Amino acid sequence: MLGQLMASALAARGRWPDLLIPVPLHHRRLLRRGYNQALEIARPIAASGRTTLWPDAVRRIRATTDQIGTSASQRRRNVRGAFVADTRISGRSVALLDDVMTTGATLNELARVCRRAGATHIEAWAVARVA
């Protein structure tokens, strides 16, 4: 439902990135949880046919601790170096999708590795923003 609502809201913009990349989970967390909430939200957005979903464009190469209850500086340190981006995103525009953005540390780190891999334009999308 959230992905469908987000797809409808985004359709009004009229412009779409080349790639939609959900925030990846570490494989152990994915096994424990059983699903990636950002990926589940991304599926109906990509199904609209306006962008390409590429869930493996960025991989989480290091497990990070849960960020609930941590400060902004602790969150930045926690995710630093936790991701690697596929260099095939070079020359493309990307949207990074997360379910909830608190300090933006995760999306900022993802944007950093995407920029390093050559992405030309990077947007951060989130269903909810916690102040």
Q: Over the stretch 62-78, which tens digit does the pLDDT of each residue have?
A: 877 666 666 777 777 77
Q: How far is CA 78 from the centre of its chain?
A: 16
pLDDT of residue 25: 86
Contacts of 131 (CB under 8 A, 6+ apart): none
* pLDDT, tens only, 3-45: 888 888 888 888 899 999 999 988 888 889 999 999 999 999 9
Instruction: Decide if 67 contacts 105 (C-beta within 8 A).
Output: yes
Tell me what the mean pLDDT of segment 81-103 comes to.
93
In angstroms, the first-to-last Cα distance of the chain is 23
pTM confidence score: 0.90
pLDDT at 65: 66
Q: Residue 85's CB: how many other CB atoms inside 10 A?
A: 22
Is residue 38 within 8 Å of residue 98, measured between CB atoms? Answer: yes
